[in-house]
Amino acid sequence: MKIIPLTALAGLALASIALAGCQTTIASTSRFYHPATTRTYPPKPEGFSIAVLDCAPKQKFEAIGHFAFTKSFSDDIADGPFEDGHDFMIAAVKYNARLAGADAVIMLDDSVACDSASSAPGSTSAKVGKRSKRGGAQNSPKSDNDTSGIPHGGSMVTRTVDAQMIVFGR
């Protein structure tokens, strides 16, 4: 039996994560979903509307899973279908919730950070917006489509989502 050093395995894992990030699709984000119960629920139909909540609902619910994911986007996608990555991340959350059979998701974190790709003096790294673990926006843009706080011209936008998948009435 051949023994592989732990450092080689760690390097291989990091390389595979870096390569996987280059070809991330909404469907490929399913590896970031982790069930919170052994009970399984049938997937919701494709057109099912998953509610995205800022905090826990007042009605009874059961947490069935957790989804956490971070992805970097270059600022040139602002002209594409996923704006600054927000739409992609929300689509990934809803896709995984639907597959898990969730009725809704509670967003624990929905944040964005911007880093200038330039190494010139005065380049910036700025945290643009973050949702706290208790819900409610902190330092967030005025609307979901407002990217005025995101620097353009060679910058990267890093989005993070952390969501709890829930079913109602359990």
Domain locations in the chain as residue ranges: 6-168
Write the pLDDT tens digit of every residue in 2-40: 444 444 444 444 444 444 445 678 999 999 999 999 999
Write the pLDDT tens digit of every residue in 102-137: 999 999 999 888 876 543 444 444 444 444 343 444
- The 3-state secondary structure of the chain reads CCCCCHHHHHHHHHHHHHHHHHCCCCHHHHHHEEECCCCCCCCCCCCCCCEEECCCCCCCEEEEEEEEEEEEEEHHHHHCCCCCCHHHHHHHHHHHHHHHCCCEEEEEEEEEEEEECCCCCCCCEEEEEEECCCCCEECCCCCCCCCCCCCCCCEEEEEEEEEEEEEECC
pTM: 0.64
* The CATH number of domain 6-168 is 3.30.110.70: yes
**pLDDT the model gives residue 131:** 45
